[in-house]
Each structure stands twice: as structure tokens, then as C-alpha cells.
Chains A and B, each alone.
Chain A
Amino acid sequence: MVEFLQFTLSGVSFGMIYAAVALSLVLIWRGTRLLNYAQGGMAMITTYVAIEVVYRTGLYWAGFVVALAAGAVLGALCQVTIIRPTMNKPPLNGVIVTIGLLTLLEGLAGVFFGGQFRSFPTAFSVRGLRIGGTPLGVSRYDIFVAASVLVATLALAVAFRYTSAGLRMRAAAFNATIARLSGIRVARVLTVGWALAGLLGALAGVLVSPSTFLYPNSMDTIFVFGFTAAVIGGLDSPVGAVTGGLLLGLALSYAGGYLPSGANLVPVVALGILVVVLMVRPDGLFSATKVRRV
């Protein structure tokens, strides 16, 4: 029973990180109809930026803030320079460009920062919390992780719901042509969407790196888990993305804990979940029935 509680709580903590990645993918998908394969690579680069800042200044929070800012700038920059030119071409071109961006970023990280594993500091203690004498399997840091993603998600939800910028973004995602006719600068709105997605990805990178170490490919696995979470949620729905992240985090935590040699099998279990979801509900668990346009 104690074991079950531990797996559940650590599943929630990791699930929130997958949720952050999934949410960043959903943001871009709703605006651009493109799955950004470079999301993990962008997060990896901004985490390297954070680690350099932390080492130079000795301040965790300086690194944290710089990483989020770098994520937003990188997202906007990529959208303007290489994504915008693919937008009137077949979707395959955009997909290949984001794969190229991922590869480019991972290669550059290898050139400038080397391939060795680097440890990333945490803001809070990673010692497991206990109630009475019973270990809970979570630390203060895990609570910080879950709380940060929750705050970011709620802030986004509020911004989308109650600000005029949020309304413009929803309008542009709903129907770009009509939004443009109503005087919304759709191109700029899409850039802002990429910036927000970059920020969320950077948050996920900074939060997950103390547990995974940082190296050029370190975000690959986190990205595919985030992608799986987004697919579970239907790629179109922010609520679905967060729920999908939590569900996946729990499922993988139980699989890693209870299966024999489970830790090695986690990616295989995630692949199984992805395939099953795609076979049963290809549009995700939370999406309404869609009409395919011809």
C-alpha cells in the first residue's frame, strides 16, 4: 500500500512534466497544425543555457528565469525563420524541417557543450518526505515540479480565457482566414504561440533535468512521452494534454515499479499505450467527433 502511494505520487510528479511538454505541443498544433519535433531539442538547449547561468552566478532562480526567457525567444525565432516559409507547403515539409531543427540543435549541443552527462541543481531538497515514519516517495522538489506546471497551466488558461491577446490566439486557431479578415495579425499571433510553447518546453526541461541528467539527447525520451500524452489527450485540447500527461505519468510509474526489470521497459510500455490509444481512439480520449474536410 505504501509502495502504491509512492508510485502514485512520483507518477503525478513526472506526469506534470509530460503534461508541460504535451501542452507546448498542443499550443503549436492548434495554431500551426504542425507537430513540433524540435520541442524537446529546444528545451534541451535552454536547459544548457540555464546550467551555464547557474554555474556562473550560483543562483538557481537566475538560471530558471533565463531558461524560460530563452525558450520564448528561441520559439519565436524558429517560427519566424524556418517554420513560416513551410506554412503554405504540404505538411510533410514542415514536419521534416522540425526534425531537421531537432537534429541541428542536438548536434550543436554536442559541439559546444560536449556529450558527457551533466547534473542539474534543484531548487529544493530532493530528500523524500515522510509522514510519521512512512516515506511518501516524493520530495519537496517533486511538489515544486507539480506546482510550477500547474501554475503555468492555470496562467495560460486564464490568459486564453480573459485577455484580448488570448482571444486573438483562440480566434486565429479556430479559423485563420476569418481572424485575418477581422484584423488580427495571424502571423504575429502564431509567433506568440511558438514563444509560449518554447517557454513551456523550457520549463519542462529545467524541471526534469535534475532527475534525468542533461546531455544532447536527454530530452528525446521526455519528448516522446509528452507526445504520447498529447495524443492521449487528442492534440487539440489543452485539458486533454494535462490529463494525458497525468495518466501517462501514473501508468509509466506503475509499470516501472511493478513489472520485472520494469525500469528498462518503461519506453516499451509507453509505445504500447500509444499504439493502443491510436488504434482505439485515434483522435484521443477527449476530442469530440471530427468531420474530415475534403
Chain B
Amino acid sequence: MSMQTLPRRLGVAVVTAVIVWLLSVRLSTFRDFQIAEVAVEVTAVAGLTVLTGLSGQISLGNGAFMAIGGYTTALLMLHLNWPYIAALVASGVVTAVAGGIVGVAAARLRGPYLAGATLMLGVALPALAAAYQGFLGGDQGLNVVFTAPAFLGATFPLTRWQAWVSAAVALVTLVLLANLCYSRIGRNWRAVRDDEVAAALDGVNVAVTRVLAFVVSAICAGLAGSLLAIVTSLVAPGAFTVTLSIALLTAAVIGGLGSLPGALWGSLLIVIVPTYVTDVATSHGLSSSVGSNIPIVAYGAVLILVMLAFPQGIQGGLHRLLTLFTGPDPKSRRAHIPHVTPPADEPAASHHEKEGTQ
């Protein structure tokens, strides 16, 4: 399988890179900024969709991991003058460690506890910035100086360079994640998600598998946070609230949990629709507090409606459309549709909800 799919994935990545390049050259500076935003978002959402869709865990703390990545980048560039690429890698390493620590605690937990623990992380971490004003800059945060390299010329727009860097990191992350999902590790994640006991009997180390998924999703969030730091030239606690984590979850759910293309659709919607809605609301004379809250209302409504009506999200819908024309394709069905909802005839007895009823 990997012989055929690896070149295909690289091909898709190259085509996407060319599209991003064309868009960034043709469109306005604001669109460049949006491209960068989508790239940041998709990097984080991809990690979350893998965690939730494939390994069956849920996190409301990925915004906090983004904060860890962002602050690591800002501190290294500010105090030690590290080049960005080194700060990016370091951010990935630091969030991996943080993800490992939370993941070890998380591996003891099932779904409901885990989301609570990660929500706690999301609430607690921004408080650190206020507790260590001198080092982390308090509410004002830290400024990040990021410039386009000299060889591009003095007139090269910074936003275009930011878009390129973020899109490149996002694409590399997506290709690596895609390979990981279809490797043995990815199969173990799905096995543990579907039936923990059966997976353990087959020799899968359930705890290690879970922690690994958590670490992978934390690394993605850390890279995204690092990108966000250079795209907005600032890291501040206000950017990494629980709302950010919920926006990430909304993007993953609406795109289709467990699907990497779905992560892209979800991220596009999450970046473009709120800006548009807020613009429309303010131009119709609604106050800014109404305009800025409409996206939040929409996140909530979307999470509820998608989970009740279309648990497989956009990517699941696209697949159903596709199979209408081409007939069922067993390979891609197996690969793409996450078992968020078991078929109606499958008894739910194997799921965790029955646990602990004694």
C-alpha cells in the first residue's frame, strides 16, 4: 500500500504547494494573511482530528499546547536570537514533552475524564503568563520579530513570506501525519479506539499507543503555535483561550473526525467564515460584541448539529457523493470513514459507556 500511496501523497502535497504559491502571488496581502492563518489552523486541526478520530481521545487543551509552542518560539528568538527554523523544531520538542506528561496522565483516563483534564490545561496555562509577568510578558505578551530573508529583496511582502513558511510547515506535517496514520502506529490507534480489550489481547500496548497519539497531536499544536507567533508577530494569553481549542475541535468535527482532507475543509471554514460573518454583522450596524460572538454561536450549533445529523462531517459527505457516481470503493472506505458512529445493527456493548455500571 505504501508503495503506491506515498508518491500519491507527495503529488497532492506538491500540487497544493503550487496552488498556494499561485494564490499568494496573485491575491492581496490580506489573502496572504488568510493563507497563513489557514495553514496554522490546519496544522493544529490535523493533529486533533488524528487524536480524536483515529485514537478515540478528545482534547480541549490543544490551544494550550499552541501557547506552549508559541511562547517557546518567542522566548528563543527574543533572548537567544535563534533562527526561526531552530525555534520551530525546539517548539515541537518542548510540546512533545508537555504532551507526554499530560498524555501519561491521560492514558489512565477514558473519554469523559480526558476532555476535562485537557480543559483544565486550557484554563490553567494562560494564568501562568499573568503569574510570571517579567518572563512571559503578562497580558501584553511577547513581541516576535520575524523578517523575510534578504535574498528575496527589500520589497518582498512579509505576509507572502509568512504564508509560504506556514504553508510549507503545514504541508510537511500533513504528509508525515498521513504516513503515520497508515503505518502500524495508525492501525494500533484504530484498534485501541474500536476495542481496547481486543487490541490488548492482540499485543498492542494500549497505554503507549494512547500516549503516542496524544504526543503527536501536541506536537502538531506546538508547531501551529510557533507558526501563529510569526504570523501575528505576537504571543499573548488572549490568543490561546479555550475558545481557540473549541474552534479547533469544531474544524475537526465539521471536516470529518479522523480525516486529514477534512481537517483542511474545516480549517478553511473556520478561518474564512468568521471573518466574513463579523464583517457582515458590523456592516449591518450590529455592535462589535454581537459580531464577534456570532462565530462562537455558530461553532456551538455546528458541533451539536454535525454530531447529531452528520457525524462523518464534510469528508464523509464527499465520500458518499463520490460513491453515488463510482460505486463503493472498498479500499477508500476502509481508509477514510472513521467509526464515529457504529452501524445501527452493531451493538454498542463494546464501547466504554458500559464500563463501571457495576
User: Is A99 touching B303 in the complex (CB atoms < 8 A)?
Assistant: yes
Is A90 a contact of B116 with CB atoms below 8 Å? no
Interface check B275, CB cutoff 8 A: no
Which residue of the partner chain, among B304, B339, B351, contacts A100 with CB atoms under 8 Å? Answer: B304
| A151 proximal to B (CB < 8 A) | no
Contacts of B115 in A (CB 8 A): 35, 37, 95, 99
Query: Is B105's CB under 8 angstroms from A92's CB?
Result: no
Given known contacts A105-B300, A110-B289, A34 and B124 CB-to-CB distance under 8 angstroms = no
Whether B356 pairs with A290 at a CB distance below 8 angstroms is: yes
A75-105 residues at the B interface, CB under 8 angstroms: 82, 85-86, 88-93, 95-97, 99-105
User: Restricting to A212-238, which residues have a CB under 8 Å from any CB of B?
Assistant: 216-217, 220-221, 224, 227-228, 231, 235-236
The 8 A CB mask of A167-188 against B (1 = contact, 0 = none) is: 0000000110000000000000
Q: Which residue in chain A gives the minimum CB-CB distance to B304?
A: A100
Residues of A within 8 A of B131 (CB): 261, 264-265, 268
* A279 CB within 8 Å of chain B: yes
**Residues B107-122 near A (CB distance < 8 A):** 108-113, 115-117, 119-121
Q: Contact: A270 with B120, CB < 8 Å? A: yes
Q: A267-B124, A279-B108, A293-B357 are known contacts. Are A85 and B116 too (CB-CB below 8 A)? A: no
Q: Which of B298, B308, B355 contacts A97 (CB 8 A)?
A: B308
A115 on the B face (CB < 8 A): yes
Q: Find out whether the CB atom of B242 lies under 8 angstroms from the CB atom of A220.
A: yes
Q: Are B112 and A95 in contact (CB under 8 A)?
A: yes
Closest to B291 in A: A111
The interface bits of chain A over 248-283 (1 if a CB of B lies within 8 angstroms of the residue's CB, else 0) are 000000000000010011111011001100110011
Q: How far is the CA of A96 from the CA of B120 in the complex (A)?
A: 16
Q: Chain B residues with Cβ under 8 A from A85's Cβ?
A: 308
Task: Please tell me if the beta carbons of A100 and B303 are within 8 angstroms of each other in the complex.
Answer: yes
Give bound CA distance, A271 to B127, whole Å.
Answer: 12
B239 at the interface (CB under 8 A from A): no
Q: Does B205 interact with chain A (Cβ within 8 Å)? A: no
Q: Does A111 contact B294, Cβ atoms closer than 8 Å?
A: yes
- Specify the chain B residue showing the minimal Cβ separation from A261: B131
C-alpha spacing A291/B355, complex, angstroms = 8
Asked if A157 is at the interface (CB within 8 A of a chain B CB), the reply is no
CB of A292 within 8 Å of the partner chain? yes
Q: Are B109 and A265 in contact (CB under 8 A)?
A: no
A100 CA to B311 CA, complexed, in Å: 13
A271 vs B125: C-alpha distance in the bound complex, in angstroms?
9
**Cβ-closest chain A residue relative to B132:** A261
Q: A86-B307, A95-B111, A103-B246 are in contact. Are A236 and B56 (CB under 8 A)?
A: no
- Whether, in the assembled complex, B299 has its beta carbon less than 8 Å from a beta carbon of chain A, the answer is yes
Question: For the complex, is B147 an interface residue (Cβ under 8 Å from A)?
Answer: no
Whether B348 and A35, one on each chain, are in contact in the complex, defined by CB atoms closer than 8 angstroms, is no
Distance to closest chain B CB from A185 (angstroms): 19
| Contact of B355 with A292 in the complex, beta carbons under 8 Å | yes
Q: Which one, A96, A175, A290, contacts B58 given CB within 8 A?
A: A96
Which B residues touch A35, using CB under 8 A?
A: 112-113, 115-116
Q: Is B352 an interface residue (CB 8 A)?
A: yes
Collect the chain A residues with CB atoms within 8 Å of residue B158's CB.
none
Give the size of the chain A interface in residues (CB under 8 angstroms): 62
Check A99–B249 contact: CB distance below 8 A: yes
Question: Is A158 on the interface with B (CB-CB < 8 A)?
Answer: no
**Bound Cα distance A92, B340 (Å):** 8
CB distance from B58 to the nearest CB of A (A): 6
* Closest residue on chain A to residue B127 by CB atoms: A267
In the complex, what distance in Å separates the CA atom of A29 from the CA atom of B116?
A: 13
The verdict on B60 contacting chain A, using a C-beta distance below 8 Å, is yes
- Contact check: which of B52, B294, B300, B353 meets A102 at CB < 8 Å? B300
Nearest CB on A from B132, distance (A): 8
Complex contact B301–A104 (CB within 8 A): yes
Decide: A90 and B242 in contact? CB cutoff 8 A: no
What residues of chain B lie closer than 8 Å to A274, measured between beta carbons?
116-117, 120
Closest residue to B247 on the A side, CB-wise?
A: A103
Indicate if A131 sits at the interface (CB-CB under 8 A).
no
B229 in the interface, Cβ–Cβ < 8 Å? no
- Residue of A110, A111, A261, A282 near B109 (CB, 8 A) is A282
- Contact for B300 among A29, A103, A175, A227, CB less than 8 A: A103
Q: Which residues of A contact B128 (CB under 8 A)?
A: 264-265, 268
- Residue from A93, A104, A106, A268 within 8 A of B124 (CB atoms): A268
| A186 vs B222: C-alpha distance when bound (angstroms) | 45
B297 pairs with A93, CB closer than 8 A: no
Residue among B197, B307, B311 having the largest count of chain A Cβ atoms under 10 Å: B307
A2: interface (CB < 8 Å): no
Task: Give the CA-CA distance A35 to B116 in the complex, in Å.
Answer: 9
Determine whether B168 belongs to the interface, using a CB cutoff of 8 Å to chain A. Answer: no
B81 interface hit (Cβ, 8 Å) = no
Contact A293 B112 (CB under 8 A): no
Cα distance A217–B295 in the bound complex, in angstroms: 15
Q: Does A62 contact B (CB under 8 A)?
A: no
A111, A174, A217, A227: the one contacting B297 at CB < 8 Å is A111
The docked-state distance in angstroms from the alpha carbon of A33 to that of B111 is 11
11 contacts between A and B (CB under 8 A): A82-B304, A90-B341, A90-B353, A97-B308, A102-B300, A104-B300, A110-B293, A224-B123, A227-B119, A265-B131, A275-B102
**Which 5 pairs between the two chains have the least Cβ-Cβ distance?**
A104-B300, A100-B303, A110-B293, A107-B296, A107-B297
Q: Knowing that A34-B112, A86-B307, A282-B109 touch, tell me 9 more A-B residue pairs with CB under 8 angstroms.
A: A33-B357, A88-B348, A91-B111, A97-B308, A100-B303, A106-B296, A231-B116, A235-B113, A278-B105
Instruction: Give me the interface of B with A, judged by CB distance under 8 Å.
Output: 52, 56, 58, 60, 102, 104-105, 108-113, 115-117, 119-121, 123-125, 127-128, 130-132, 197, 241-243, 246, 249-250, 253, 287, 289-290, 292-304, 307-308, 311, 339-342, 348, 350-358
